[in-house]
Structures are given as structure tokens and as C-alpha cells.
């Protein structure tokens, strides 16, 4: 919080460094920015008490909590919210997969944990557990939030399956070049409560196989290339 306040003050000072400064407008704008920042917090705060705390600090009145107590309280609330979100997302994932599994055209790899919809078939080589397929992908959460995609760059990526989450790897094994699937991955086969996404998020991936194993092709090209003369 201290770092954020300093950042706001520095930005405001820099902005008006060479202009006539209206202190009242500057102060009011800082309040707006502070509220916007607090509005993005993981938990709600009493803004009236925030203002009271600012006034108390200006008047030399001691804070009701030490900085250490404040940090411990924030940590406790954050942990409580994290656990609630984890449980809520887990229940939502189970409900979503149960409902989705009943839809026409759904194939089951692992009941209640990994299912997919076949968008169109492919031909040629198939992806194996040891493959590094060249793929197009688009990843979203249940609410449609996009968290990863190759669509923007329109450039496929090579991805070693051994280095991916279990659900993604299992969902690609057996796919042929040109095949496209929509994978629905339970949190247990995704990131669980780790990573940067909301804890226990169900993941939805649209995946199309461009090449079943780009690594093998690269190695073949390398082996056919003439060797460099010894120096």
C-alpha cells in the first residue's frame, strides 16, 4: 500500500511539474485513483475508515494496528478468500463437466475429469506421449476469459507434451495432423490451486494439430544437413 501511494504521488508530481498545480484537484484525483486501486483488491474495505485513517495519520493519532498486525490480517483474509474461491471453482468445474458430458458429440477420456468435442478429423501422423506437436490453441476459463492463445500472432507453437499439464497432454495423444478438438480439463489435471490462474479453474482448450511431431522433423532435417568442416 505504501509503495502504491508513493507511486501515485510521484506520478501526479511528474504530471504537473511544469504546470500550475491546483492542489484541491490533485488531492481529489488522488482519492479517485486510490479508490480504483482498492476496488481491485481481493476483499472489500470500508472506504470511510480508510479516509479516517488518513486523517488520523495527519493528526498524529496512532494506528489501531501495527504494520505487522496489518500484514498478518491481510494474509489471513486473503487465505480465507483463496480457499473459498478454490472450493467454489471446484464445484463449478464438477457441475460443468457433468453437464457437458451429456451433450451430443462429447468423447470421454477420463470420466468427470477429461472430455472433448471433436470439431473435425485429421489425417496422417498421430501425436504420441513423446511428441512435440506443432499446434494452434486457444485457452479459456468457464466464463470465457482468455488466458492463453496463439490466435493473435496466428503462429502455431511447438510444445513438448512431457512439459505440459496432464490433461492437455492426455487430450492431445492420438490426435492426427489437421484434427481439431475442444478439451475440457478438470482442475486436478490442470493447475489445481497453483499457477497464476484462479485456483481450481477448469480449462477449455481449442486445439488443432499442425504437425504431429515437429521435433522429429527438425532432427531429421538436422541429420540430413552437411556437417561443418573441422577447424
Q: Where are the beta strands (DSSP E) in the chain?
A: 106-110, 114-120, 134-140, 146-149, 157-158, 180-185, 203-211
Q: pLDDT, tens digit, for every residue of 101-138?
A: 999 999 999 999 999 999 999 998 999 999 999 999 99
Looking at residue 47, what is its pLDDT?
78
Q: pLDDT, tens digit, for every residue of 142-164?
A: 999 999 999 888 899 998 999 99
Domains of the chain: 2-60 (no CATH), 88-216 (3.10.50.40)
CA gap 155, 152 in Å, rounded: 8
Looking at residue 89, what is its pLDDT?
97
pTM for this one? 0.74
Q: What is the 3-state secondary structure (H, E, C) of 134-172?
A: EEEEEEECCCCCEEEECCCCCCCEECCHHHCCHHHHHHH
Q: Show the cell assigned to 227.
A: 556437417
HSE-up of 197 (CA within 13 Å, CB side)? 20
Nearest alpha carbon to residue 177 among 204, 213, 147:
213
| H/E run at residue 68 | helix 67-100
Q: pLDDT, tens digit, for every residue of 173-186?
A: 999 999 999 999 99
How does residue 83 score in pLDDT terms, banded at 50, 70 and 90? very high
Beta carbons of 147 and 58 less than 8 angstroms apart: no
Percentage of the chain exceeding pLDDT 70: 83
Amino acid at each position: 500500500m505504501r509503495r502504491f501511494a508513493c507511486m501515485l504521488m510521484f506520478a501526479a508530481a511528474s504530471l504537473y511539474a511544469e504546470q500550475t498545480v491546483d492542489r484541491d484537484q490533485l488531492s481529489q484525483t488522488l482519492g479517485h485513483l486510490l479508490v480504483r486501486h482498492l476496488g481491485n483488491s481481493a476483499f472489500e474495505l470500508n472506504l470511510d475508515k480508510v479516509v479516517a485513517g488518513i486523517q488520523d495519520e495527519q493528526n498524529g493519532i496512532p494506528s489501531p494496528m501495527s504494520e505487522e498486525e496489518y500484514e498478518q490480517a491481510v494474509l489471513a483474509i486473503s487465505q480465507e478468500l483463496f480457499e473459498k474461491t478454490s472450493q467454489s471453482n471446484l464445484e463449478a468445474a464438477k457441475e460443468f463437466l457433468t453437464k457437458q458430458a451429456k451433450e451430443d458429440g462429447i468423447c470421454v477420456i477420463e470420466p468427470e475429469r477429461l472430455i472433448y468435442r471433436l470439431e473435425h478429423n485429421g489425417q496422417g501422423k498421430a501425436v504420441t506421449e513423446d511428441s512435440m506437436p506443432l499446434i494452434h490453441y486457444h485457452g479459456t476459463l468457464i466464463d470465457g476469459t482468455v488466458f492463453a492463445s496463439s490466435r493473435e500472432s496466428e503462429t502455431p507453437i511447438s510444445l513438448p507434451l512431457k512439459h505440459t499439464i496432464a490433461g492437455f497432454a492426455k487430450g492431445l495423444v492420438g490426435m492426427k495432423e489437421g484434427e481439431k478438438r475442444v478439451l475440457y480439463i478438470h482442475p486436478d489435471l490442470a493447475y489445481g490451486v497453483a499457477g497464476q490462474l484462479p485456483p481450481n479453474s477448469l480449462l477449455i482448450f481449442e486445439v488443432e494439430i499442425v504437425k504431429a511431431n515437429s521435433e522429429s522433423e527438425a532432427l531429421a532435417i538436422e541429420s540430413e544437413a552437411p556437417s561443418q568442416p573441422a577447424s
